[in-house]
Amino acid sequence: MSNELSKAAVFDGTGYEPSLFSRSQFVAPKTDYKAVDLHHRNTDRNKKILVVCTEEKYMTMANGKKFSTGNHPVETFVPILHFQDAGYEVDFFTPTGDSVKLELWALPLQDVAVGKIIEKYSEQLAHPKSLRDFTEGNFTSETDYVAVFLPGGHGAMLGLPENEDLKKVIRWVVEKDKLMFAICHGPAALLAAADQEDPENFPYKGYAINGFPDSIDETLPEIGYQPGKMPWFYGEKLKNLGIKFLNEGISGACHTDRKLVTGDSPLAANAFGEMCARVLSEAASGNSR
């Protein structure tokens, strides 16, 4: 029918963005963000959340076509709104300090709260801090990072899973008993901890998570969300390292396993952010005693 939305991926001049049909299925004009009451709110301005984003925009698919990706704005900024509600600002990092790449086609254009938080951090998004500089400085900083956040979007699979500096950051998180937050494809970045390492030493071996399923990634080209099949599947690699996926589909499910908090998709952004905020509130409560 002539009024049906096209399932053809949209060429942006270099790569392909999701089809109009797939956007109608996955991109909403507003999020379900809602602030929650927390028993304890952080008041120490030196305590922050370290956010690791991709600086790469295009994923080369199995057929050679390029998928225009980055970090998903809902999965990135709705949790950050909850971090803010818990009393925590964030610092954005990319591997070398190049700008944060976002899936701009997924922006919730009618969401005032998301628009304001993006505006607040616009300078950091354009000029984030460098993971390389952070690790070369032996993690010394006047900022006490209480958690690391790995936002989703297929961009989390670009440049991060094999990044040596991110490997050091993950090991630092585990050794210092800090919190790790990851949503949707964000857990793909955890693969950095296993790069060129004995799989038996993977720090999150035996953990259970919610994440975006490989089985759905396999179907996305059918609706033009991507211009071709995935070059590789992150879930398969994590399972081989001993991580258990709790979900087979996407429903907005979230899970906390020890110091690791995860969510399955953009549908989970609000609940995931709330879960992280409650974990942060509990940590702040313990620190105030």
In tens, the pLDDT along 108-150 reads 999 999 999 999 999 999 999 999 999 999 888 889 999 999 9
* DSSP conformation letters of 152-209: -SGGGGSSSTT-HHHHHHHHHHHHTT-EEEEETTGGGGGGGGGTTS-GGG-TTTT-EE
Catalytic residues: 184
pTM of the model: 0.96
d(C-alpha 59, C-alpha 65), whole Å = 8
d(C-alpha 46, C-alpha 31), whole Å = 29
Determine the pLDDT at residue 23: 96
Mean pLDDT, each 10-residue run in order, the chain (289 residues): 79 97 95 93 95 98 98 98 97 98 97 98 98 93 94 98 98 97 98 97 98 98 97 98 97 98 98 97 71
d(C-alpha 171, C-alpha 46), whole Å = 22
Buried b (16+ CB within 10 A) or exposed e, 32-50: ebeeeebebebeeeebbbb
Please name each of the domains of the chain with its CATH number. Answer: 11-26+36-288 (3.40.50.880)
Encoding tokens for residue 169? 């950051």
Determine the pLDDT at residue 3: 55
